[in-house]
Chain A
Amino acid sequence: MAYSFHFLDDIALADLAFEAEGDSVEELFRAATQALLETLADPATVAATWERRVTNVEGNPADLLFEWLSNIVYWKDAAGVVFHDAELSVRQEGSSWNLAAVLRGASVDQTVQTLRSDVKGITKHLYDVRQEGTRWCARVVVDV
């Protein structure tokens, strides 16, 4: 498997934290995205009737990931949706890191979706994106 993630028990007492990793920056983004989507709701119970294209450019993978995850939280509130999946690509162009993504989901519906935690934001507490050998890893604490 090119990416994986797991939730952390003892990092944030009142909130939730996860570690994500992948074979590349792009795979790391997929891992962290999946972790966040699963924190909000079970994606398997969410249809893909809502869609939003998101693009962003930052100077490094850490800032790009932080802004992308924050964007997901924004759309959750602004559009009142939870998510089925996200298709994304991450490219380095010179000193810039570019994200192009499509977020898919559906309006919140308690009768059909397994809803989980209402993430209020992505925090910088212990936030870390690093390369370990051939793997890219991130630790993310989310405020619930």
Chain B
Amino acid sequence: MTLKTEMRVNRISDEVWEIPMTEKPGMLVPARIYATPGILQSMDRGVFDQVTNVACLPGITRHALCMPDGHWGYGFPIGGVAAFDLEAGVISPGGVGYDVNCGMRLIRTDLTLEDVQPKLERLMTELFRRVPAGVGAAGFIRLDRKSFDAVMMRGARWCVEEGYGWHRDLAHIEEGGCIAGADPSTVSDHAVGRGISQLGTLGSGNHYLEVQVVSNNRIFDPETATTLGLIGQDQIVVMVHCGSRGFGHQVASDYLKTFEKAMPRYGIAVKDQQLACAPFRSPEGRDYFAAMNCAANTAFANRQVITHQIRGAFAQVFGRSAEELGMELVYDVAHNIAKVERYPEGALLVHRKGSTRAFGPGSPDVPRDYQQIGQPVICGGSMETGSYVLVGTDRAVRETFGSTMHGAGRTMSRAQAKKSIRGEQLQRDMKRRGILVKAVSMSGLAEEAGFAYKDISEVVETVDRAGITKKVAELRPIGNIKG
């Protein structure tokens, strides 16, 4: 097997591979990659370099991990997971990602493809009008600093209190849509300036809003799917992928600078400047954690406001209220975040960057409605292929700090993708295949072509066979909105 690394990579099982501590000076734990042999061979050199850099960070526990959708990222690879001792370990913005609490949300409906197809053009136009996307887009909610502070502290709860959602939505959001410990005083004015007008906006890049179909023949676990409200029969659902926008990025940038200056004081040296970190218990570490939680709550709020707009669009187009249309929130889960969680080693700070929490049945952190099935995991594919709903397992908690994949993972650069196809051509091709795309930027659309991504089905099969998540249903796109 030819890999894009000179490091020794040992097979642990058909889906788990380990780079021993001997392969790089300074490694404190081995690195483990979840992948089939095919996926492992396709992984870029950055994955191997970066996951072993992460294995060198102070206080890391058990293994540095990378999921099968892994690829090169800033500091940590995308798909990276690492857990740190709270006393001896560090916190790193490079382990969270610039887009703090970038995450996925899935909304079900009682509508079917037959109901929606005749009105799809009108529906997508209305969604495109109500959910601003692309460069510099501003949301419809005007906030002053005091209100934005409330968003930072209360996240999706603030939205529901202000009428942008239903109280029962909160039960189906990770952490109830509001992470404790957010402190707006730790956030710069620069970050606030970038974020204050962006609530309810999608952004661009790989972020999207997608109308999808759940067909009977793509449900792999009918009982679990039914518990999630996914009944098949060409049912329509809506998926949202976005995060904390410029606000979260500014929080990460601000603290990378802070940590670069602080590291010599704490005697920390890192293999990559983008792994800048500080002890979790240090003043700098505590402040970043509080600021990151502000950004995480803002992302929950962002997706909640977008949900409010989606419900409004559906109600307008179909002439029935969102409640009558059965537009319940299935789940909302982050895939860029650091959280304190309990494991056999004790309380650990788990960084997930391009990785989704995947707790199994019975976990107190899983919503009451889903206690029997485990935590829903929502994974977006490329806009040309499918997306998946999975559920977490006890094995994930034992092996991967309750973590799994988050999406397809890129295999081609944006620049290469743009050279391969024009956005207008891609839009026409997709329409012929029954997928209606509304995009602000045609070059941005070309960058997101399906061929620039891994085959999500192979990634899903990997985590399913590895037992760290169980696949429930595949969702097929019929409409997509991109920035």
Give me the interface of A with B, judged by CB distance under 8 Å.
Answer: 7-17, 40-41, 70, 73-74, 76-78, 80-82, 107-108, 110, 114-118, 120-121, 123-125, 143-144
Contacts and interface: CB of A to CB of B under 8 A. Distances in A.
B138 A116 contact: no
A117 B273 contact: no
B216 interface: no
Contacts of A80: 136-138, 197
A116 B414 contact: no
B246 interface: yes
Contact of B136 (A13, A81, A114): A81
Contacts of A11: 413
Contact of B98 (A41, A82, A108, A143): A143
A41 B440 CA distance: 11
Interface stretch (B71-79, B156-164, B343-351): B71-79
Nearest to A7: B415
A115 B74 contact: no
A80 B132 CA distance: 12
Interface string B197-218: 1100001111000000000000
Contacts of A16: 414-415
B295 to A, nearest CB: 12
B398 interface: no
Given A80-B197, A118-B483, A121-B250, A14 B410 contact: yes
Interface of B: 44, 46, 71-74, 78, 98-99, 134-138, 190, 193-195, 197-198, 203-206, 245-246, 249-250, 252-253, 256, 273-274, 410-416, 419, 440-441, 443-444, 447, 483
A118 B410 contact: no
Contacts of B444: 115-117
Contacts of B410: 13-14
B204 A76 contact: no
Nearest to A42: B443
Contacts of B273: 124-125
A121 B440 contact: no
| Interface core residue of B46, B410, B413 (most chain A CB under 10 Å) | B413
A134 B441 CA distance: 38
17 contacts: A8-B415, A9-B419, A14-B73, A14-B414, A74-B194, A77-B136, A77-B197, A108-B137, A115-B441, A116-B135, A116-B441, A117-B443, A118-B137, A118-B483, A120-B205, A125-B74, A144-B414
